[in-house]
Chain A
Amino acid sequence: MSAGARRAAGWVLLIAALALVPLSGTYVTGLAAEVLVFAIFAMSLDLLIGYTGLLSFGHAAFFGVSAYTVVILGLQFGLSGWIGVAAGILVSAVVAAAIGFFSIRVSGIPFLMLTMAFAQLLMAISIKWRSVTGGTDGLSGFQRPTLFGYSLDNRALQFYVVATGFLLVLWFLRRLIASPLGSIFIGIRENEQRMRAAGYPVQRFKLVSFTLAGALAGVGGGLYALQNAFVSSDILHWSLSGDAIIMVILGGTGTIVGPAIGAGMFLLLKNVVSSHTEYWLLWVGIIFILCVMFLPQGVWGWLRARRFGGRTP
């Protein structure tokens, strides 16, 4: 099969598989929607970690800000969740541009600490500004929007909306990474000094990458709000940023699909293992350590190297 035919077949298989998921009952459908939401989140983070070489530890900020935007606009102003998601993505991009503007001035560990500090700042605001954010109790009572007259309270419809968002983000990232802009991000990851010597304003492109990643995390956050109709300050907690890093590394940094697989593994472990033992994080930790030791390219990176020997979706 040619590369183009294989790619097309991959998309068809993926869409068919996603289309069939709601047949497997509401529990699985809900879990699958959650996986896809966090897959979007993890893929957006990998744009920074895997492609631009920026280890951000505050990515929950953009996910959370978008989710809050959707719910607050709905509760306070009665705006539809659809407008909310668009606004959420925009707000995430703006917040990412602001945080990125300061954070990219440093790199390595200071960058990691700075992004985490900004995310913690947003979490502190979400806890203290009770009148708007509901504090640690969170905001409930959000009315899900409707699609073609059907309410998004329907699990299957929720799933299809989330799956559509996932496919769009997947498509966008694939185009981006193959584009001139994507090649600049990869160049920065590979050798920042040489990029500057070649004439690239590296700082500007790091900010572009950071803002794009924030906006894509906003897509995930907005869909999270539509799915859960609830948001609390937990969503801005640093541990969510950490979870996303684990998802990226489990699946494979510097791959597009890897982080989605990592998100699936992480959430399956969480759901399956936590029904047997409350120490589910211990198992996640053990698997994470084994993965880093024996599959440093992540599960997808390993599969890709073994099976395909090249690029696939």
Chain B
Amino acid sequence: MAARAALRRPDTVSGDGAAPESAASQRYGVREEKPAAPASLLRTQALHKAFGSLVVTRNVSLSVNAGERHALIGPNGAGKTSLVHQIAGQLAPTSGRIFLREQDITAAVPEARAQLGIGRTFQKNNLFRGLTMRENVRLALQAKRRGWYRALRATAADRSQRAEADDILAQVRLTDDLDRPVSSLSYGEQRQLEVAVALAGKPAVLLLDEPTSGMSSAETDSMISLVHSLPAELGILLIEHDMKVVFSLAHTITVLYYGEVLASGPPAAIRDNPKVRDVYLGLGH
């Protein structure tokens, strides 16, 4: 995969190196920056991504604060998923920078970003299909435990991890027969599990890529209340097509149009924005 090769490019961020670095920063080769603006949890700065002449992200600067529900909307092909890929590290931006707690993570690989606190779900269910629900969540939990590779102790004997996995599954309302393999789950259950796996990484920022896509109206309502029930301090960046979901959850809405930020602000301002009405809300709504 070209994208993966690109992610392993050397750290191109230069710094004076004078500031003492935290253990996590040293481990993943990210540098801490002096906060220029009021500290946000997650911030992109003039992010730009082009595939040849096709620009999918154009000069995007946005931020997500702790506890903020930030919705990202825009017509199909507006570059929403590409933006999430760049924030989570699956795609490398052409230029611009990404900060988590004012640390520059632009050059960090996805696994390093996950360890630093970025969790995500995928637009298309992207689970461990051959494994059980419980094992999907347990694996994600295990990633945050130190010393997982030390012992040859059986994972099945680890009761506390199992209980923790069950708690997270209960949080997304999956409680029945947790030893069912993913391949036997309904689509809606897989969407819920997708959120559970992301939550198991104990993220500070959660990127939800169309959590309700393909869901029935009842399932969508249940997903809305699920997102409402998530920890208040969690910062959430939510990509969503369903305006009911967006307006019932979001504190801030950013509208992308051809990779560019068309408007950004509180829901009421976005609803009344004539440009937004023109290109987006007017279409089919």
Within A206-260, the residues touching B (CB, 8 Å) are: 208
Closest to A202 in B: B111
| A contact face: mostly helix, strand, loop, or mixed | helix
CB distance from A191 to the nearest CB of B (A): 5
Set of chain A residues within 8 Å of B152, measured between Cβ atoms: 175-176, 179, 181
Contact B155 A179 (CB under 8 A): yes
With A194-B127, A194-B128, A199-B144: A180-B153 Cβ-Cβ less than 8 Å: yes
CB distance from B85 to the nearest CB of A (A): 10
A184 to B144, CA, bound (A): 13
Within B94-116, the residues touching A (CB, 8 Å) are: 109-112, 114-115
Q: How large is the interface on B (under 10, 10 to 19, 20 to 34, 35 or more residues)?
A: 35 or more
Tell whether B246 is near chain A: CB-to-CB under 8 Å: no
Contact B135 A198 (CB under 8 A): no
Set of chain A residues within 8 Å of B197, measured between Cβ atoms: 194, 198
Q: How large is the interface on A (under 10, 10 to 19, 20 to 34, 35 or more residues)?
A: 20 to 34
CB distance from B99 to the nearest CB of A (A): 19
Tell whether A128 is near chain B: CB-to-CB under 8 Å: no
CB distance from A17 to the nearest CB of B (A): 26
Set of chain B residues within 8 Å of A138, measured between Cβ atoms: none
Contact A191 B127 (CB under 8 A): yes
Set of chain B residues within 8 Å of A293, measured between Cβ atoms: none
Contact A178 B139 (CB under 8 A): no
CB distance from B163 to the nearest CB of A (A): 16
Closest to B131 in A: A190
Contact mask for chain B residues 199-221; partner A; CB cutoff 8 A; 1 contact, 0 none: 01100000000000000000000
Contact A180 B201 (CB under 8 A): no
Closest to A193 in B: B126
CB distance from B123 to the nearest CB of A (A): 13
Within B195-249, the residues touching A (CB, 8 Å) are: 197, 200-201
CB distance from A289 to the nearest CB of B (A): 25
With A181-B149, A186-B131, A191-B129: A200-B155 Cβ-Cβ less than 8 Å: no
Tell whether A151 is near chain B: CB-to-CB under 8 Å: no
Q: Which residues of B are interface residues toward A (Cβ below 8 A)?
A: 88-90, 109-112, 114-115, 119-120, 122, 126-131, 135, 138-140, 142-145, 148-149, 151-156, 197, 200-201
Closest 8 CB pairs of A and B: A199-B114, A190-B128, A199-B143, A180-B148, A178-B154, A196-B110, A199-B115, A175-B152
Q: Which residues of A are interface residues toward B (Cβ below 8 A)?
A: 175-176, 178-184, 186-187, 190-191, 193-202, 205, 208
